[in-house]
Amino acid sequence: MGKALFLKLKESLISVLPVAVIVLIVSFTPLADFSLTETLTFSVSAVFLILGIGLFNLGADIAMSPMGGQIGVGLTKSKKLGVLVSVCFVMGVLITIAEPDLSVLAGQVSAVIDSTVLIVTVGAGVGLFLLLAVLKIVFHKDLSAMLMFFYMMLFALCAILIDNGKVNFLPLSFDSGGVTTGPITVPFIMALGVGIASTIGGRNSTENSFGLIAMCSIGPILAVMVLALTAQGNIDYKLADYSVSSALDGIWNTLLEHSLDVLKALALIVAFFLILQFTVLRLPRKKLLQIAIGLAYTFVGLVIFLVAVTVGFMPIGFKLGQQIAAFNKPVLVVLGFVLGLVVVLAEPAVHVLNKQVYEATGGGVKKLEMFLALSIAVGISIGLSIIRMIYKFSILYYLIPGYLISLCLSFFVPKLYTAIAFDSGGVASGPLTSSFILPFAIGACVAMNGGSADSIILTDAFGIVAMVAMTPLITIQILGFKAVTSAKVRHKITMKRILSADDEQIIYFK
């Protein structure tokens, strides 16, 4: 266990160090002016972030993923489809309601839509689409066709919202789809899909195991849009206090709040798991003990992670965006791109996805390739989001062409790459995106609008999470297209060599 923890800490150090180094370097230039307290707070938070990610990743490996896999296998072996889809629906709702990322997003908007109503609505959307994703696996349905249908429905709802004067709801709707697939949800749901697909079997069981995260990212967007159509008025945004001093003063409340959130999330999973353990699974005590230890690592790691980003990364992200936007807007775009390149490396769920993809494809999709594709995608998405903020145009000018390109690519690349790409979109937009990149965008928006931007933050700054969730769909499918093209070129060269060989050679048969 000690060696495994050391390796996880080493991985998390490599992940977090680029983000921390870039921010600290910028803090010692004329671009930003941080106080000693702010610099020290950020540095200490970075150390705790490394510890939190390492503990979480170890816990996900020995508890979250095995739990999801065992539930998927156990429910599928029971051969009771009604029980399988019912449990998946309830599990999807409860895990999403307790997802810390969603609570962070809901807490940043005060509206006619109550925060609790928003969270429950998003949970229902995830539960319904997790059910549909499981049915896709069971009946071997094509993921590309399902994604095309639901995204067309999504854009139709966009048009209805615009027609009804509810355009302010669009960024929040798309961001809801990004934050729901967070560090607690991803390991469990991905392992659930692998467990179900491996039990059902079939020729494309590996390909069939992916796509659950992709489906679960659509449900919240549609659910919030439907909710927006029934709401009266528009959402009013109130700028939060992003100062380091305020974060330090409330550190114990932050620790307690995040501890309760994570405990609630894990308790819901454990409660369901225990019910299934006594009715369907009946795992040995040794396996249960291993899962219990893994849950302890997951709890401690995720609490440390969330406290670190709330106390150190959120205030620094806000101030960094604010100061650089006031200094030079082109520099802001460049820095946003650079931060995007490295910030995805520190997302806990990205490591879970990469490990799952590597194992499921037998090493066919390399971890380095995945990291590069995701880094480039997130860098581009943040750079484009800042350009949108500067020139103040609708996020739909990005999202509609982006999703159309993604859906068109799905018909030309291997289905496995399509499933991985759409899963990656949900995974890339994790807690660090909502707790560092989003405050960075809000700070920039405030600076660009003279220090008071409450009325336009929701339309200009929000939506950056949605962009982070959208761009990996294109880059990873391009990776798949490259793989197909390379295979065809190699085949063509091989055939050419065979056909150009000396046909007059004598072949002796014995």
- 501 bridge partner residues: none
**Mean pLDDT, residues 370-397 taken together:** 91
The torsion of the CA quartet 270, 271, 272, 274, rounded to 10 degrees, works out to 80
Report CA 263 to chain centroid distance, whole Å. 21
* b/e per residue 112-130 (b: at least 16 CB within 10 A): ebebeebbbbbbbbbbbbb
* pLDDT, tens digit (0-9, with 9 covering 90-100), for 264-323: 878 877 887 888 888 888 889 999 999 999 999 989 998 998 899 889 998 999 999 999
Question: Would you give the end-to-end CA distance of the chain in angstroms?
Answer: 59
In terms of Cα–Cα distance, which of 467, 430, 441 is closest to 102? 430
How large is the average pLDDT for residues 403-421?
Answer: 87
| Confidence band for 80, pLDDT divided at 50, 70 and 90 | confident
Query: Mean pLDDT across the stretch 454-480?
Result: 85
Residue 364 has pLDDT above 80, yes or no: no
Return the pLDDT at 201: 64
Q: Looking at the chain, how many residues does it have?
A: 510
Q: Report the mean per-residue pLDDT for the chain.
A: 84
Query: 3 vs 54, 56, 297, 299, CA distance in Å?
Result: 12, 15, 15, 20
**Worst-scoring range by mean pLDDT, 36-50, 379-393, 484-498?**
484-498
* 3-class secondary-structure state, position 483: helix
As a whole number of angstroms, the distance between CA 422 and CA 472 comes to 8
Mean pLDDT of 390-395: 90
d(CA 509, CA 251): 82
